[in-house]
Structure formats: C-alpha cells, structure tokens
Structure 1
Amino acid sequence: MPNMKNAKKMVKVNKKRTVENNNYEATMKTAMKKVEKAVAANDKEQAATNLKTAIKTIDKAAAKGVVSKNYVARNKSRLTNKVNEMK
C-alpha cells in the first residue's frame, strides 16, 4: 500500500491508464480480426474497407504508446499483404 500522497495518486492514474490501454488494444485487435474474417470469406470490398479502418486504429494505438512501432509495422504489412493477395 502506498504511503506518500503522490504514490497514492499514481496508483489511481495507473489504473485509469491500464483501462484506456486495454480499450485501445481491444479495439485494434477487433479491427484486425474483421479484416481476417473478410479475407477468409473472400470479400474483397469488405476486406479493403476493413483494412483502412484497421490501419487507422493500429496507428492510433501506436500514437498513444499502447503498442510498439515494430508491432504496428508488422501487423499493417501482414494485413495489407493478405488483402492484396486476394486481388
């Protein structure tokens, strides 16, 4: 248990940040799964629109510092390649 005033505050702040980070990560992973699902269903138009949304969401998570830039680059590349292979 924290004893100092600033340590008590940081416990609250860390909880809040953890919740926000989890939300960003969940949104990002959901967007990525939508692209995967559209690719599996062989729906080119849906995959392309979902890819746009997924890239936007992934970039937002990276800007907030939720995920690393290497994670972002790797996943954007993989998703883009999967969608491009359909065409």
Structure 2
Amino acid sequence: MPNIKSAKKRVLVNQTKAARNKAAKSALKTQLKYFDAAINEGNRSEADKRYKEAVKAVDQAAARGLMHKNTAANRKSKMTLRLNKIPQ
C-alpha cells in the first residue's frame, strides 16, 4: 500500500479507469455477440442493424485506446465478410 499522498491518488484513479475500461470492453463484447447471433440466425435485416452497432462500438473502442486501430480494422473487415455471405 502506498504511503505518499500522490501514490494513493494514483491507485484510486487507476481503479476508476480500470473499471471504466472493463465496462467498455464488456459492452463491446455484447455488441459483437448480438451481431454473431444475427449472423447465425441468417436474418439479413437484423444482421445489418447489428452490424452498424457493432462497427460503431469497435470504432469507439479504438478511439478510446481499448484496442489498436489495426485490430479494429481487422475485426470490421471480418464482420463485413461474414455479413456479405448472407443472401439478401
């Protein structure tokens, strides 16, 4: 446990940021899960809607620094390929 006042504050700030990051990552995984469910169901209109939400969540995660921008681009590319396999 830190003894210096600034070190104690850093511990509290880091806990707050870790909790925020964990919540954001959980929300991202939830969006991706909904997209996967729509893809597996084969419902194109639902998949389109979920795709837009998932892409937005991935872009926000990359902007916040939760994932690297190339990782975000890779995920979006894979989602697009999966979406395009569903007949219209």
Amino acid corresponding to residue 70 of structure 2 in structure 1: N
Cα RMSD (Å) of the superposition? 0.9
| Structure-1 residue corresponding to 2:57 | 57
When the two structures are superposed, what TM-score results if normalisation uses the length of structure 2?
A: 0.93
Aligned residues: 87
Q: How far apart are residue 77 of structure 1 and its match? A: 0.8
Indicate yes or no: 2:40 matched with 1:40: yes
2:30, 2:79 → 1: CA distance? 13
* SS of corresponding position for 1:36: helix
Indicate yes or no: 2:10 matched with 1:21: no
Q: How far apart are residue 73 of structure 1 and its match? A: 1.1
Q: How far apart are residue 78 of structure 1 and its match? A: 0.8
Q: What is the identity percentage for the equivalent residue pairs of Structure 1 and Structure 2?
A: 36
Q: How far apart are residue 71 of structure 1 and its match? A: 1.8
